[in-house]
A and B are shown apart, each in its own frame.
Chain A
């Protein structure tokens, strides 16, 4: 039985509909496991994710946010993930500059055939967030329970 104060990280994973969401599906149907702490939000393309989505996720209590999309070159809208790549790089760099641990954000390209990669990535990411602990720096202080 888990201890009462055991840290249960909340992880938000934005997954593009065409590759990564299908990859998550494959992971599920192949009975590959990944922690239930990962909450998937399906988006039409990685490029749909605006920096505000990432920040809002943290505000609402996420401890880590990961964005998954098709591999560069495979975006179903041709170039969406190339734009997303630049945006996320700059956003993550800014968060780092503000003193927010950069391990809390991640981008991974996962295709529809990569159920294994999906589950591995999520396991790794959850572990990383466990090691970083609760996110306090970007959380909305008003919503904290303690």
Chain B
């Protein structure tokens, strides 16, 4: 771990930092895409590093949930290779971008970093812990050997949280991002080298919530979504962060479609934005969880994406976007024997 990290940030494991520093010094890569300390210990942010000196701010700890693959669209246009750190789930997004010809594989040097589950400060707050000043226990402890291996679960790991009301503790496993509970697995799908180990974090079924909603009456469904979507302030953060939302000109920025920047002017716009946003990424969404992570209003956007994923799995065969960079996408392909749209009513 580095000395004197800003704001009590946990820094990065030495093996990772040393390797990155070497690759930069050798000139294998022109820059590094990683995370740097933010204003608080719990909000490191995506950043470029171009010199070894700058790497003193480099962070990789339990709060590095941000998926860096979308930044590779712009980085692919830069001179030289960009070293990018990708967690197992982030590599699905990178593959999907490769498939859509939005990133250049030759311009990326991918370090697949181990992941032991990423933390969610909102989840910590939801546990009633307010006035957070610093958090201990988010640093990663890696053994030097066997990169890419998966270790046992989170076990008894505990976060120690210093707040203005005194010190609190919380088991690491209770502070995870929703997406880590339904992790797709700790295997990196694309990389140049692997550093660090991962831990198993999956302890829930990713379609359980969708199934619960499907079982509701139309009135209950409507009430549930109206309640959630009424919170939307149309900040567009969910779209901006999404690696699948990479169109050069987005329909939600177009005056022609009359849908740009309409804050929840009426109940229709609220729904329309969300249906169309989810539809535009259907079959391409890797379920990376970034949209739900960044929503300032805490809207569970994954419930939209996963409904499409579940339907695609059931109707057109199991499909995981980003698993590889070759498979045909379900909405740009078809089968002669596909179900008719009337099946929606028949399924009940």
- A-to-B contact residues, CB < 8 Å: 51-52, 55, 58-59, 72-73, 79, 82-83, 85-103, 105-107, 137-142
By secondary structure, the A interface counts as helix
Q: Does B165 contact A (CB under 8 A)?
A: no
B222 to chain A: which residues have CB within 8 Å? 98-100, 137
| B302-323 near A? 1/0 per residue, CB < 8 Å | 0010011001100110000000
Shortest 8 CB-CB contacts between residues of A and residues of B: A99-B222, A99-B221, A82-B334, A107-B341, A92-B344, A140-B268, A88-B341, A89-B341
A100 to chain B: which residues have CB within 8 Å? 218, 222
Of B225, B334, B342, the residue contacting A86 (CB under 8 A) is B334
A89 to chain B: which residues have CB within 8 Å? 311, 315, 338-341, 343-344
A15 to chain B, nearest CB (A): 16
- B-to-A contact residues, CB < 8 Å: 213-214, 216, 218-225, 251, 257, 259, 265-269, 271-272, 275-276, 278-279, 282, 304, 307-308, 311-312, 315-316, 330-332, 334-336, 338-345
A83 to chain B: which residues have CB within 8 Å? 331-332, 334
Contact yes or no, B307 A55, CB < 8 A: no
Told that A82-B334, A94-B278 touch, could you supply 13 new A-B pairs with CB distance under 8 A?
A52-B257, A83-B334, A86-B316, A87-B331, A89-B338, A90-B308, A90-B331, A99-B223, A107-B342, A137-B222, A138-B268, A140-B269, A141-B266
A94 to chain B: which residues have CB within 8 Å? 275, 278-279, 304, 307-308
Contact yes or no, B223 A141, CB < 8 A: no
Contact yes or no, A85 B266, CB < 8 A: no
Query: Given contacts A89-B315, A89-B339, is CB(A97)–CB(B213) below 8 Å?
Result: yes
A80 to chain B, nearest CB (A): 10
Query: Cα distance A127–B340 when bound, in Å?
Result: 21
Of B257, B268, B343, the residue contacting A139 (CB under 8 A) is B268
Of A51, A59, A85, the residue contacting B334 (CB under 8 A) is A85
Contact yes or no, B344 A93, CB < 8 A: yes
Of A58, A101, A138, the residue contacting B218 (CB under 8 A) is A101
Query: Cα distance A91–B339 when bound, in Å?
Result: 13
Contact yes or no, A103 B345, CB < 8 A: yes
A32 to chain B, nearest CB (A): 23
